[in-house]
Structure 1
Amino acid sequence: MSQQEMKETVENIIDDNAVGTMATVKQNKPHSRYMTFVRKDLKLYTATSSETHKAEEIKENPYTHILLGYEGEGFGDEYVEYEGKADINNSSDLKNELWNSYMENWFNGPDDPNYIVLEISPISIRIMNKTGAEPKVLEL
């Protein structure tokens, strides 16, 4: 599989599986939660509140590990392991672009001061669990 094919596979898995686990470090221990992600090229974006543990954890240690794509089919069910560095992005343009009505459950609109976006830049991306294949590393 060429690097271009791998990139397309990664993008397709992420696009088809917006919900995944995101791990951060809390008191020197891993802490995971489910998050919804939006992809732009190979960067990931996810909305959260500035008052959550994850926002605090990202400020202390910006490195994260994300799993996207596994659908419970077992061996051969491809997924993406995404290691990245997260930054808190308060850009009004980005917040408006990502805003959807579902977020009204947590925020009072895109101008809510607690609404922030985690912008995650990839450090390492691997395609895992493809039947008969070793894990593939996407060169960044």
Structure 2
Amino acid sequence: MIWEKTVLYGMQGTLVIKKEQLKELKHCKSELTNIKEEFSDSKSSIKKPGLSSTTWQGSLADSFKSVRSDMKSAYNDIYGKQLNEVFKKLNERINSLNDEIHSLGQDISSLKKKIEKLEKEEKQSRH
């Protein structure tokens, strides 16, 4: 029975750790969602300043347009691909942790019942 109780305490400790990890991942997802929204709002700044015949012209304007085009491509890659991949991995890990927590909770419950049964049997054998 000592072994079972030791295992139970270890499982309970693991459960606490996994719940804390889940809490941190959910917080991270929330923060990342806010950052993604801010990042989305900043897309229009790539187009500033506007170029016209009264502003930059010639090779400097062409270089500026090239840099702006590169920025737009990088922005689209980050916003459209990279952030989506990060969210996908976060969601997968959150789901995995939820499954692990659920399974661990069931294992703990079963082990508690086993310990109660062993304690009852031990108590009965003393009488």
Give the TM-score band, short-chain normalised: under 0.3
Q: Which one has a larger percent helix, Structure 1 or Structure 2? A: 2
The structure with the larger Rg is: 2
Higher relative contact order (CA 8 A, sep 6+): 2
TM-score by structure 1 length? 0.23
TM-score by structure 2 length? 0.25
Q: Which one has a larger percent strand, Structure 1 or Structure 2? A: 1
